[in-house]
Amino acid sequence: MNRVALITGASRGIGRGIALELARLGHDLVINYAGNTNAAQQTAKDCVALAQDSQKTIRAEMCQAGIRVVNAFPGPIDDEWNQLVPPPKLGAPALANAIVRALRDGVEDIYPGDVAQDIVARFRENQKALERELWDR
């Protein structure tokens, strides 16, 4: 039974180099990649071939599990508390739920809470007026 290695970012660059070396040493591999399926398939194929050249038999499985970024804008940030904007009325559970919904729905920018929703609505209504209001304070 071979040792198993999970290599993140194994489709290209340093991750690919690590996968190839571990294959040469006879490790079974889980090739994790974000989005380049063709590169991950090529890495898996090259790893199996390299192991065979070294008289080893390995498995190289692929697993797509990329990283998602969610920008959460709940309201004013720390250095803006001197502005005449009410503090956000948003607790940790509400923020966590908003982030989970964004990840599930594939949304990158979220505006949870009353203050953030108000700012977004005003921005969509009249971008220049909101910019003047926020910068003229």
Domain boundaries, the chain: 4-64, 71-135
CB 115, CB 89: distance < 8 Å: yes
List alpha helices for the chain, DSSP H: 13-25, 37-53, 92-105, 114-125, 127-135
Query: What does pTM read for this prediction?
Result: 0.52
pLDDT of residue 21: 94
pLDDT digits (tens, 9 = 90+) for 18-67: 999 999 999 999 998 888 899 999 999 999 999 999 999 999 999 887 66
In the chain, the percentage of residues whose pLDDT exceeds 90 is: 34
pLDDT of residue 74: 67
Tell me the average pLDDT of the chain. Answer: 80
Q: Is the pLDDT assigned to residue 94 strictly greater than 90?
A: no
